[in-house]
Structures are given as structure tokens and as C-alpha cells.
A = this chain, B = another copy of it.
Amino acid sequence: MNRPRCAIGVDLGGTKVDIGLIEEYGKITHRIQSPTEVEAGPEGVIAQIVSGIRQLQNQSGLVPEGIGIGVAGQIESGTGNVFFSPNLKWVNVPLASSIRAQLNGIETLVTNDVRAATLGEWLYGNGKGCQDLICLYVGTGIGGGIVTGGRLITGVSNSAGELGHVPIQREGLACTCGGYGCLEAYAGGWAIARRAREAIQASPQDGEFILKLAEGNLQSVTAKIVSEAAKQEDLLAERLMNETAEALATGITGFINAFNPQKIIMGGGVIHGFLPLVDLIKERVEGRALKVACSVLTIEPACIINQGSLLGAAAQIFQSRDIKL
């Protein structure tokens, strides 16, 4: 019997290293998760990854075709160097070549974690078969991946898809990126939390319920707590979620008119923390985006939760031998 092709996927974030042995059709057969040893520096984290991969190989007895890594950071195209990762505190780390050197020259490909998640959703999730697809991940920050004409776009310096930093307001709020008016500055988890805190301070009575969920500590108010309060029909939380939906709908209207996608898939903690957001956004986008651009469009939540980047990271290996991404 033929064994399916397999590859190692690595999802490398600031808090967690997630390593899996993945079969070509998206099955995770073995998996190891551990907290990222950020303080050990790049060498330490790379050693942690190498040791995890060896462990998986031993456990499974399989020989993977290669290693695909998704990293929370900016990746240099071609080399697999990590330009910059604030979460890992990395600057110019030659990740792909280091892994390759320590594992007998095995093929190693590195991409950004959001792009990996897009690849996962595209190949194995709700985006399957789509030629024109946008994945929008709304967590603390907002990131995106764009497939157009059957190809995941990278841009000239490998940074395409920064959809959280598309402005939705001409003279808008300052963003963590140094710009202003960005979608993320209105709808990212950090922005929701900030808006909630400001609203509570401005009107403590309206904020009573949210503050209670945060155990009375204003600084502990997070987007997650706001979502919880909205689920329990707290008026302020509902208002904050409506504002979030309006901001996201503004950005998404632009994505629809610019890219004319077949599908928009929404993932990330803010979306999965309060799924009614997807319908609130749909209502607002209808009648606002161009009719011709919406003729076949669907907007739906991501179906691969907590493993999109892992699957997509590994899929780079299968893709690299099949089609040009």
C-alpha cells in the first residue's frame, strides 16, 4: 500500500511552538506543542524546533519530504530569513538555512504565519477550490492572506496582505504600525479593549457589567471580555461590537471592490469569540459594496481553528513540488 506524502509543519509564534507531522490531504498524524523559549534567543528556539522535529520523526518512523514553517513576523522571500519578528524579538535570523544545516539539508520553507493560515484554509478548509479568496484574521492585530487567480499573492517584498493596516478613516486614530486610521486601530483586539476602557471611564454606569467581568479592574478589560458581555446582551458591549462590525465592513467593502473575491473567510479570536460579527458585517457590506463585485460572494467564518497555520506551513512543501504559489 502506498503511504501518503507527508511533511513537517511548524507554527512558530511568540508564545507557542506547534510542530506536526502532516499528511498531504491535511491529516495531522503526530503533534507536539510547547511554550516558545523566547528568552533562549534564536539559537535556543531553533534548537527547540529541531529537537521537536526529531522527536516526531522518531515517534512516527516516517521520512517527511520537507519542513514548512509559519512565523509571526516578516519573512524574506527566497531565503527564508526572518527579517523582523516583534513577538520573538528576532531581527534577521536565517531560520530556513539553520534548520536545513541541522537536519541534513532537508528542504525547509518559511512563510508568514497569516499566509500559512490562508494556505491552510485554502487547501483544507472553507476556501477549498476557490481561485479568488481573502482570509482575514482578526485577533489582537489583524492580518490577511489574498488568493487571486489561483495564486497566493506575495507582493514585491513579500509583505502583501497587511489588511489590518488598510486605512478606513482619513484622519483617523493612531495605529501601532506608525500610521493612522488603520482598520486594526478600530477593529483589532487591542483597539476593542481600548474603546471599551474609554467607554467605561466616560460612563461607569454603562460599563458596570463589562467591568464586573474584568473583576473590577479597568486594565483587565480585553476584547474577549467584551465578547463575553455582548453574548450576555450587555448594551455597551453590543454597541462596541456593532462599531467593530462597522469598521470591519468598511475595510471589507474595499477588499471586495478591489479584489472581487469569491469568498471572504474570517478567523481569529475576535471573530470566533463572537460569531454574530460575521452576520453584522454581511448586513453592512450588502448594498455598500459594488453589486457586480458581490454577485457570487460569500462571507463565512474560518473552519480550521487553531491549526490553520500548522497545516498551511506544511502545505508549502507539497505546493512547492506541484504548482507555483
Contacts and interface: CB of A to CB of B under 8 A. Distances in A.
Interface of A: 74, 83-84, 131-132, 144, 146, 148-149, 151, 153-163, 165-171, 177-181, 186, 246-247, 250-251, 253-255, 257-262, 287-293, 295-297
A290 B162 contact: yes
Given A149-B153, A160-B259, A170-B250, 9 more contacts: A132-B156, A148-B160, A158-B260, A160-B260, A161-B258, A167-B253, A170-B186, A179-B288, A255-B258
A296 B168 contact: no
A81 B227 CA distance: 47
Nearest to A251: B167
B287 A159 contact: no
Contacts of A287: 178-179
21 contacts: A83-B292, A149-B151, A155-B260, A156-B261, A156-B262, A156-B296, A157-B260, A159-B257, A159-B292, A160-B293, A163-B257, A165-B253, A166-B258, A168-B168, A170-B246, A170-B250, A178-B287, A179-B253, A179-B289, A181-B250, A255-B258
A255 to B, nearest CB: 7
Contacts of A291: 178
Given A157-B296, A262-B156, A257 B290 contact: no
A83 B296 CA distance: 15
Q: How many copies of this chain are found per oligomer?
A: 2
Given A166-B254, A169-B168, A155 B181 contact: no
Most buried by B among A148, A155, A160: A155
Contacts of A288: 167, 178-180
A280 to B, nearest CB: 14
Given A153-B149, A181-B250, A288-B179, A293 B258 contact: no
Contacts of A165: 253-254, 257, 289-290
A178 B153 CA distance: 30
A165 to B, nearest CB: 4
A155 B148 contact: yes
A215 B286 CA distance: 43
Contacts of A151: 149, 151
Contacts of A162: 257-258, 260, 290, 293
A157 B257 contact: no
**5 closest residue pairs by CB, A with B:** A155-B260, A166-B254, A156-B262, A160-B260, A162-B257
A111 to B, nearest CB: 14
A153 B259 contact: yes
A169 B166 contact: no
A258 B136 CA distance: 12
Contacts of A153: 148-149, 259
Contact of A157 (B148, B160, B295): B295
Nearest to A295: B157
Contacts of A255: 258
A289 to B, nearest CB: 7
A154 B260 contact: yes
